[in-house]
Amino acid sequence: MQVKANGITFNVAVEGAEGKPWLVFSNSLATDLSMWDEQVARFKDEFRILRYDQRGHGKTEATDGPYDFQLLIGDVLGIFDALGIDKAHFVGISMGGMTALGLAQQHPERVLSIVPCDCSPASSPASARQWEERMRIAQEQGMEALVEPTIARWFPGDALASRPAMADKVRAMIRATPVKGYVGCAGAISNFDFRPGLAKIACPVLVMVGTKDAMLEGSRETHAGIPGAKLVEIEGAGHLSNLDGAEAFTRSLEEFLETV
């Protein structure tokens, strides 16, 4: 369904049990809300579930960039208000996890808990340079040039070999991402710092990360900075740990949500 929020049209999916607590899933860069299919199937009987395509992704409108996390957090609040969501459990991966950190810091009254996955709490000069190069490639060569390099970064080789359908699904999401949306969101990821506010996050927090993800140390830093946060490292999983570590990811999320 389409929802007007924060000045643009968002593609959202609302599923699950009416009257139950809200559980929100936020996608990574260069994916769409379908990345959460396995988790929705597990939780739809116990929660009212919202998935949304981040700005410039999937079927959500792509505006001119670059974006920043103030804008992406504002998008979440706009969607919440449009759908009458007072507060929710918020699960995000990579860019979605960064969004979760900012949301919990700046609008604690809107979150029941957060689950930031496979993300660092801040950019760095080195990561900014990497993103500048990827943005340049997208603008000059299109998203097709980023498909295989991205897949290789995100997934261990054994996961690609053993789950070709999963890999092809992700390839299709990357390929379909509008260049404008990719560049806009990459701009946000290349320049942010949520570290100063980590200690102020007071809601329950579960940090999850794949042990083969380049964000492993960043996720550990996030965990260390949030008082009382829990950390789950998903053995053998790469950057999209909810996909190639789906069973462990979903089980850990279920155990966490049972306690909050």
Structure-token pair, residue 147? 């498909």
Model pLDDT for residues 147-186, shown as the tens digit of each residue: 999 999 999 998 888 999 999 999 999 999 999 999 999 9
pLDDT band at 201 (very low <50, low <70, confident <90, very high): very high
Classify domain 2-257 at the CATH topology level.
Rossmann fold (3.40.50)
Model pLDDT for residues 133-152, shown as the tens digit of each residue: 999 999 999 999 999 999 99
Close Cβ partners of 195 (under 8 Å, ≥ 6 residues apart) = 121, 122, 221, 225
- For the entire predicted model, the pTM comes to 0.98
- Residue 76 CA to residue 91 CA, distance in Å, equals 12
Structure-token pair, residue 193? 């710092």
Q: Give the number of other CB atoms < 10 A from CB of residue 191.
A: 15
pLDDT, mean over the chain: 97
pLDDT band at 65 (very low <50, low <70, confident <90, very high): confident
The answer to whether 10 and 23 have CB atoms below 8 angstroms apart is: no
Crossing angle for the helix pair 95-106 and 179-189, nearest 10 degrees?
50
pLDDT band at 87 (very low <50, low <70, confident <90, very high): very high
What local confidence, expressed as pLDDT, does residue 52 receive?
98
- Residue 18 CA to residue 20 CA, distance in Å, equals 6
